[in-house]
Structure 1
Amino acid sequence: MKMRSRGAILLLMILAACAGRNTTAILSPTPNLYTFETGEAYPAAGVPAQFRTTTTEILFMTDRNPVTDEFGAVVRYGERRNDSMAFGASWVEYGGLGSWNELIARTQATGQAGLTRLEPVGLTELARLPRTPLPYQSNGGRLQTTSEANAVYATRSATIRREVAARMQATGVDRVLLYIHGFNNEFDDGVGTLASIWHFAGRRSLPVLFSWPAGNDGPLAYFRDIESGEFSVFHLKEFMRILADVPEVKRIDIVAHSRGSAVMTDALRELMLESRGGGRDPRRILKTGILVLAAADLDVGVTRQRLVAERFADGFDQINIYTNPQDGALRLSRLIGNVTRLGGVDPDKLSERELNDLKGTGNVNIVMVESGSVQLGHAYFRENPAVLSDIVLALRTRAMPGTRFRPLDPIAGNIWGLHQNYPAEVLPEMLDRPLVDR
């Protein structure tokens, strides 16, 4: 028994190491999409003037506990939970670059020439929602939030909506790119990852981070992070409602990584059930567009029930699930829970019924990432130029796999292969018709 306990603790420590921290200090490697001789594919001309800078503003919502300096100013957010959510802006500088043109040159450079540091240069809270649960009272045997508490919540929610609306009006964008990080990530990790994805996707959306209190220490950090994620589900639901209630927001595209996939899908599932219970269309109410699940730390069986039986997939334009059976962190996660994780599933081992269920949805795609000669870590969605290329193509073109603008290799049904030089062989064809947002 002692040996098994020691083995479990060792696995947890290794899992924590696999997830890593501070991995986003460098701009993601240039996607294959942009590394060719003519260097004309990055849509720089389509970037709104306000976004053509080497310092990026990333909006955020977090229920992490704030860390303040001696003057009481918030300087960062830690791994502890907070019952109130803070909405604010964090600024990231693409370090060492003198101009927007230099950043574009780096964006289309190959190898080490394209790398640049991402430096956090400040943050500020723009609004803080009241602590939850809100004060309540019993009325005829039913618990009801007090009118005073509702008024405060409504006022502060309205502030958040105004801040989002103002930025969308100023830039002319009508989509939000929402990112949620995985386990053992610090606040700045999430900011840096979103800064990379949003930049390479063409800066045609408003970048927003939801950061939950991950990054706990110790051999049981994985379980502590799981519980922190469950704690954040309610807060994420509230934030999704606020975002969807902004008239300027037409679509919300979502990228979720690792354990963040569980937090996000749990929140979305409950919102969808709530919408359907009220006789409303979830996609229209929530404004959900593309959902990317990268290296998702989700139970395969539970996910299949939700996608099909609970019609979760109906709430999105498309769902792209990136998998790699060699993902070390998810293999360890499977050993701990004794259940295959979605991001580590091997499509060859899916049953005919499971394949038919996926095919029947029409908009759920499993993208099998081929390792080849390139070592893939748990963060391959932001570190692998081929995978990042497909995420960028999906966000920019809204195209489904197997089409001209997302030429993935068909495997079976809704399962696609992504090789390491993707999509190099069709780049000249893409230049015949510049990629535009549709």
Structure 2
Amino acid sequence: MKPVSAPAPGASKHTILVATTRERDSRPGTLFNGNRSGTLAFATLTVSVPPKHADGQIELASSPPGNPQTDFVVREAAYIDSEKAFVQTLNARLDEQPRGKRKVLLFIHGYNTNFAEGLYRFAQIVHDSGSSAVPVLFTWASKGSFTDYVYDNNSATIARDDLEHTLHLIAASDADEINIVAHSMGNWATVEAIRQIKISGDMAGANKIGAVVLASPDIDLDVFKSEMKRIGRPRKPFFIIISKDDQALRVSRLIAGGKPRLGADSDVQELASLGAIVIDLTTLKGADALNHAKFAQLASVAPELAHVLQEGIASSAAGMPKSEAAIGGPLASFITLPVRIIAAPARIVAGAQ
């Protein structure tokens, strides 16, 4: 990730703030490695997305540091030396938006993800969604190796306290709303952090939490139910993105002694009863071989999807415009979706709100 300064007409740049439990790495273009630091560190990076970027894809360089005309590349990178400086940097970005619209998008990556992979995936999501929120990446100490599942699981567990602290830092900033997207094993740290906030009773700023998207969550289904009992029915429903053909979660289930994973084997009606809106992407053809990153393919329809999920729940499908269709089956509520989203395709289920 050595910064590239070559001109690239038509490329788009996205500046991402970073909070991490990874160890600093002095090697050029590395910044952070997969070792656990023991202390929370901060950074800011600007990522360039190439002009001919395809939705849902990350155009990686065949050799570092890459060509900004064709590849995702880093333009600028710098450490932030303190929590105070992190919040000040965040506030400076938020102040670019009018009051009432100062939003943060917090992303927590999953298992088998090195620092660069988490950064570029988040840049892709920010770019494809057209989000105007200030992007903050929370990156925990994943080794970025398929064989280090247990290490990664322990790292995600260790990171939950620092993620809780990061949420408090963001809530104490000038942000009006914090929207959260977690992927895979990152969901374990995320739900645990939210649970810890609930247990502590320190709810200052908690009302700033908006949408919580749990994408391909690698969480034991029984553990998730237990967590939700402590959290209680969320003020706003969690969005849970699942896919029953997720091969990575099948491996996780084997490692976990055959226990179902939330992102692959869930009873969607039961999840809806817990206060979740379930987006089932089983019939969507994944861009990755393991069908574990399908959520990233929804980023390009995120504004429409967010509006529909927040505003489009109706008690019946009667009188629905021809440009929309109802999905959800014999549950208490229907969700109406524009044809563009249905073409994804996605099956969406919501319980009574």
TM range (shorter): 0.7 to 0.9
Q: Hey, what does 1:126 align to over in structure 2?
A: 80
Q: What is the aligned counterpart of 1:413 among 299, 311, 331?
A: 331
Matches within 5 A, 1:235-250: 235-246=162-173, 248-250=174-176
TM-score for both structures, normalised by structure 2: 0.77
What's the offset of the Cα at 1:415? 9.0
* Separation in structure 2 between the aligned mates of residue 297 and residue 197 of structure 1, nearest angstrom: 20
1:249-306 Cα offsets, whole Å, 9 max, x none, are: 111100000000001111111012212xx6x5x7x53511001111100111221233
1:187-223 Cα offsets, whole Å, 9 max, x none, are: 111111211222222232101100001025473x000
8 A contact 2:312–2:335 mirrored in 1: no
Q: Hey, what does 1:291 align to over in structure 2?
A: 212
8 A contact 2:324–2:336 mirrored in 1: no
Closer, same or farther in 2 for the Cα pair 1:425/1:380, shift >3 Å?
Answer: closer
Q: Hey, what does 1:364 align to over in structure 2?
A: 276
1:378 aligns with 2:292: yes
Closer, same or farther in 2 for the Cα pair 1:324/1:158, shift >3 Å?
Answer: same
Q: Hey, what does 1:168 align to over in structure 2?
A: 94
* Separation in structure 2 between the aligned mates of residue 185 and residue 341 of structure 1, nearest angstrom: 19
8 A contact 1:300–1:340 mirrored in 2: yes
Closer, same or farther in 2 for the Cα pair 1:423/1:203, shift >3 Å?
Answer: closer
Q: How many residues align?
A: 313
* Separation in structure 1 between the aligned mates of residue 284 and residue 304 of structure 2, nearest angstrom: 21
Closer, same or farther in 2 for the Cα pair 1:396/1:201, shift >3 Å?
Answer: farther
Q: Hey, what does 2:239 align to over in structure 1?
A: 320
1:86 aligns with 2:16: no
What's the offset of the Cα at 1:424? 5.8
Amino acid paired to 1:322: I
What's the offset of the Cα at 1:311? 3.7
Closer, same or farther in 2 for the Cα pair 1:365/1:122, shift >3 Å?
Answer: same
1:157-191 Cα offsets, whole Å, 9 max, x none, are: 33222111111112444110000100010111111
Q: Hey, what does 1:399 align to over in structure 2?
A: 310
8 A contact 2:308–2:335 mirrored in 1: no
Amino acid paired to 1:319: F
Structure with larger Rg:
1
* Separation in structure 1 between the aligned mates of residue 324 and residue 213 of structure 2, nearest angstrom: 15
1:17-45 Cα offsets, whole Å, 9 max, x none, are: xxxxx9xxxxxxxxxxxxxxxxxxxxxxx
8 A contact 1:241–1:286 mirrored in 2: no
What's the offset of the Cα at 1:360? 4.2
Which has a greater percent of helix?
1
1:230 aligns with 2:157: yes
User: In structure 2, the residue corresponding to 1:269 is in which secondary structure?
Assistant: helix
What's the offset of the Cα at 1:375? 6.8
Closer, same or farther in 2 for the Cα pair 1:206/1:395, shift >3 Å?
Answer: farther
Matches within 5 A, 1:140-179: 157-172=83-98, 173-179=101-107
* Separation in structure 2 between the aligned mates of residue 234 and residue 303 of structure 1, nearest angstrom: 18
Amino acid paired to 1:124: A
Q: Hey, what does 1:431 align to over in structure 2?
A: none
* Separation in structure 1 between the aligned mates of residue 325 and residue 125 of structure 2, nearest angstrom: 20
User: In structure 2, the residue corresponding to 1:215 is in which secondary structure?
Assistant: coil
Closer, same or farther in 2 for the Cα pair 1:328/1:359, shift >3 Å?
Answer: closer
Amino acid paired to 1:175: K
* Structure 2, unaligned runs of 5 or more: 2-9, 60-68, 315-319, 345-353
More relative contact order, 1 or 2 (CA 8 Å, 6+ apart): 1
1:202 aligns with 2:157: no
What's the offset of the Cα at 1:397? 6.1
TM-score for both structures, normalised by structure 1: 0.63
% identical aligned pairs: 22
Q: Hey, what does 1:136 align to over in structure 2?
A: none
Q: Hey, what does 1:251 align to over in structure 2?
A: 177
Amino acid paired to 1:179: F
